[in-house]
Structure 1
Amino acid sequence: MIQRIQTIYLLLAAIISSGLIFIFNLWIKVDGTVFFAKDAFSTDSLLLKLIPILFIGSAILSLVAIFLFKNRQLQFVLGRLNILTNLILLGLLIYQSLNLSGETLVSKKGIGLILPIIAIILLVMANKAIKKDEDLVKSVDRLR
């Protein structure tokens, strides 16, 4: 059923991964320009172009997992895959933020760098709720 608590967690993770990346900046460059995730497509670096792709991929995985409520095992696996995607994204963001030009002079990181952490926390809570539902169904099947 769609009205379960893990649906709310997955929906919030999808909103964070897809919508908030256009609102919150990732970092501010030395020349004062603000860098959003969508700005990565205009760069030459392949690693920077991977950032918005991973954000959107994470949002798609969350939305797909919402509608797989009848198959809890697959929903759980997609949640773990989404956590792994966000961990890779977090590592990539940390690597890029530490290699910014002028890092020793100025260090202005945006709130967009913690969005994968929030998504990971929400996905862990969703997987915990999915596991709880699965255990409940297995206990009821045992009583039959």
Structure 2
Amino acid sequence: MLQRVQTLYLLIAAGVSAGLIFVFELWTAPNCSKVFATHAAYVLAAFLASAFLSIIAIFRYKNRKSQFTLGRLNIILNFFLLGFFVYQSLSVSGETAVSKKGIGMLLPIVSIVFLALANKAIKKDEDLVKSVDRLR
């Protein structure tokens, strides 16, 4: 059923991964130009893959185990993306007074939070179904 709370969480995670990457810059290059996810093809591909996994997980509502697994894979993908951003932020020149890092580097964290909430709701549904099956 699509009217469950994890559908909302997965939609928000997909919106963060696919929509907000065009709004917030990731970092500022040394030549003072803002770098968005569209400037780096591998970053854009990772964000769009994360959004695609979220959308696929929404429509796998009949198979909660695969929905849960897709959520976990998406969380792992976002952790890799976050690790890349940490590596990139350590190699981008800048100091603490004038930060050159953009707010877009935090988007994987937001996505991870909503994916974790969705997985928690999926697990709760699975436990509810198992408890009803025990009563039969």
Query: What is the distance in 1 between the residues matched to 2:71 and 2:31?
Result: 39
| 1:126 equivalenced with 2:118 (yes/no) | yes
> Percent of aligned pairs with the same residue?
59
Secondary structure in structure 2 of the residue aligned to 1:69: coil
Contact 1:51–1:92 under 8 Å retained in 2: no
Secondary structure in structure 2 of the residue aligned to 1:30: coil
How many residues are aligned here? Answer: 135
Deviation of 1:52 after TM superposition, in Å, equals 1.3
Contact 1:51–1:93 under 8 Å retained in 2: no
Query: What is the distance in 1 between the residues matched to 2:116 and 2:99?
Result: 30
Counterpart in the other structure of 2:57: 65
| 1:51 equivalenced with 2:40 (yes/no) | no
Counterpart amino acid of 2:35?
A: F
Query: What is the distance in 1 between the residues matched to 2:122 and 2:61?
Result: 9
Q: Which ranges in structure 1 are unaligned for 5 or more consecutive residues?
A: 42-49
Counterpart amino acid of 2:110?
A: I
Counterpart amino acid of 2:134?
A: R
Counterpart amino acid of 2:103?
A: I
Secondary structure in structure 2 of the residue aligned to 1:89: helix
| 1:29 equivalenced with 2:29 (yes/no) | yes
- Residue deviations 1:32-61 (CA, integer Å, cap 9, x gap): 1110010113xxxxxxxx211111110000
Deviation of 1:108 after TM superposition, in Å, equals 1.5
Query: What is the distance in 2 between the residues matched to 1:32 and 1:92?
Result: 21
Query: What is the distance in 2 between the residues matched to 1:92 and 1:31?
Result: 21
Counterpart in the other structure of 1:98: 90
Counterpart in the other structure of 1:15: 15
Query: What is the distance in 1 between the residues matched to 2:32 and 2:119?
Result: 40
Correspondent of 1:114 among 101, 106, 109: 106
Deviation of 1:104 after TM superposition, in Å, equals 4.9
Deviation of 1:91 after TM superposition, in Å, equals 0.1
Q: Which ranges in structure 2 are unaligned for 5 or more consecutive residues?
A: none
Counterpart amino acid of 1:34?
A: K
Counterpart in the other structure of 1:47: none
Correspondent of 1:77 among 65, 69, 79: 69
